[in-house]
Amino acid sequence: MKYFPFYLFLTLFSNSYLATSHLIFDLFNSTYSSEIYSGYLDTDISGNKLFYIFTPAQSPQNKSLPVILWLNGGPSCSALLGLLTEIGPVCTDLYSNNFTYNNYSWNLNYNLLFIDTPAGVGLSITNNKTQEWNDTKFAISSYKALKDFFNEFIDYKNNDFYLAGESYAGVYIPNLAKVILESEDEDKINLIGVIIGNGITDWNVDYINAVNDFSYNHAIYSKELYEYYLNECKPQQYNYNIFKEENVLPFDPPNVTHKCNEILQKFNDLYDQVDVYGIYRKCKKVNNNTYINNNSFIYKNTVLKSINRRKKIYFEKIINKYNLSLNQTNLNKNNNNELEPAIDFNPICCQDDPTVENFLNSPLTRKKLFIDNSTQNWTQCNDDVYMSYKEGDSIFFYQEFMEKYPNLRVWFFSGDADACVPTLGTLRWINKLGLKVEIEWRKWFIDEQQVGMIQKYTNGLVFLSIKGAGHMVPQDNRKAAKVMIDAFIKGEMP
């Protein structure tokens, strides 16, 4: 059904929903007719307000169904990517330039909440664009916003609650879960479990080693170049833990030689036109107007600007961090006797698809979402937040925290075609935990077809892979993602 102004008036001023929350009218132009809410949530920092979109379950019993908070990674990337490209009721496929109803939306039978966090990300608001962030500050701020959400949507306050997300949400979620579970608030959030996809967990195995081993094993790097890399870069000597005390990125190896840098640059060049988020995806060309239609000039320029901006920011962050650590770390110099940071990074992807960006920044969409004209334009990831965020890891969660809270349901899923946070790295940090296996490694199926592999450990951790999917599993295989989340909520392995 469609909602009329009188119903909208009643909703805005009802006892259950305060004026900071709005019922959204026809956000997707008749493609979706169920309720959607948006608004701003208070945090622990004055001037910081987090934007959210809430899509109650399409089931008539939605007020009794679980609430799932979805987070994207970055750090600094908007959760609205998850809403509009992965698990929401209406999604866009890569380069389709349109939105269609998602038959495998997670809100078919769960209430979905998407929050742009921390402040400054997406459509969230901050008075201090250069404020420093770390995982603890993120978690406290996000927790306060969650409390504000449940104070507004009191009908859902006592429902089962789950955390879900991907990429750097592999660090976000464990830190937020820690704050929720250790809270001494009388009205505690009823956190039942967390489910993380292709998530950063342990920088020692998740980044350079796993990426380069994955790339060699998938024939992106040659045997000769890979062996040269092993000899010159000596990845086995990387010790990322030292970076927790020094103000540098946790994934830049110490003592990078010029020869090693040359190899890493060749590695990077080999990923040109290979999507690091899913190596089997097709890349769109950027040198002619062959994207969507004959009027794609603006589309193409948006793509190129986004790529160049984010690569520039990445380099600036690395260089700035190294400059701050010169007194603590002895870095090798190049042939011109100049200090040079590691240049090992993979492209964000072949190119960013600006469909979501164009949609969220259109005047009509902003009007429907009650976004003030003074609010910044939406971008997938916020450069200011990224530059000021000190990354950490979350291996502690699996080493210590799961023992403290044995009833917490914890699943970790991995698209096995992801070169950004490869399955190989995930299996390595799980192996480091020294866990015993409760249910042996086996296949799991949908419609009598193998979808991936699954295994359960004695501490309760469940790992499952999704065959052929990349970094954003629900984007690549929505049906498998829906079967997975259904099994997770039930607590039953598929």
What is the separation, in whole angstroms, between the first and last Cα of the chain?
A: 34
Structure tokens belonging to residue 119: 């402040």
pLDDT at 292 over 80: no
412 with 479, same domain: the answer is: yes
Length of the chain measured in residues: 494
Q: What is the mean pLDDT of the chain?
A: 81
Choose the weakest-confidence range: 63-72, 119-128, 133-142, 294-303: 294-303
133 with 263, same domain: the answer is: no
Question: In this structure, what CATH number is given to the domain that contains residue 73?
Answer: 3.40.50.1820
pLDDT at 306 over 80: no
Quote the number of domains for the chain: 2
pLDDT over 70 percentage in the chain: 78
At 224-246, the pLDDT tens digits run 999 988 888 776 555 444 344 44
pTM summary value: 0.85
Listed residue (449, 447, 453) closest to 493, CA to CA: 453
pLDDT at 486 over 50: yes
pLDDT at 13 over 60: no
**Residue 378 placed within a domain:** no
pLDDT at 378 over 80: yes
The torsion angle over the Cα atoms of residues 141, 142, 143 and 149, rounded to 10 degrees, is 120
Q: How far apart are CA 408 and CA 363, in angstroms?
A: 43
Phi/psi of residue 404, nearest 5 degrees: -70, -30
**Residue 41 placed within a domain:** yes
**Residue 212 placed within a domain:** yes
Task: Categorize the per-residue pLDDT at 247 as very low, low, confident or very high, splitting at 50, 70 and 90.
Answer: very low
Of the spans 37-46, 301-310, 366-375, which averages the highest pLDDT? 37-46
35 with 166, same domain: the answer is: yes
Tell the residue number behind the tokens 């901050």, with chain if given: 126
**Residue 351 placed within a domain:** yes
321 with 401, same domain: the answer is: no
**Residue 379 placed within a domain:** no
pLDDT at 14 over 70: no
What average pLDDT does range 203-219 have in this prediction? 87
pLDDT at 176 over 60: yes
192 with 212, same domain: the answer is: no
**Residue 286 placed within a domain:** yes
**Residue 374 placed within a domain:** no
pLDDT at 190 over 50: yes
pLDDT confidence of residue 463:
98
Helix, strand, coil: what percent of the chain each, to 5?
40, 15, 45
What average pLDDT does range 90-109 have in this prediction? 92
247 with 349, same domain: the answer is: yes
412 with 350, same domain: the answer is: no
pLDDT confidence of residue 62:
84
Hey, what long-range contacts does 229-234 have (CB within 8 A, 24 or more apart)? 229/260, 229/263, 229/264, 229/267, 232/257, 232/259, 232/260, 232/263, 233/257, 233/260, 233/263, 233/264
Among 329, 355, 381, the domain boundary falls at 355
Neighbours of 492 (CB within 10 A): 8
167 with 235, same domain: the answer is: no
Q: How far apart are CA 147 and CA 63, in angstroms?
A: 17
Domain that holds residue 241: 203-355
Among 339, 355, 371, the domain boundary falls at 355
Choose the weakest-confidence range: 126-140, 222-236, 297-311: 297-311
188 with 241, same domain: the answer is: no
pLDDT confidence of residue 199:
95
167 with 197, same domain: the answer is: yes
At 61-86, the pLDDT tens digits run 889 999 999 999 888 999 999 999 99
324 with 473, same domain: the answer is: no
Beta partners for 463? 412, 455
**Residue 258 placed within a domain:** yes
CB 96 within 8 A of CB 190: no
DSSP code for 434 = T
173 with 81, same domain: the answer is: yes
pLDDT at 376 over 70: yes
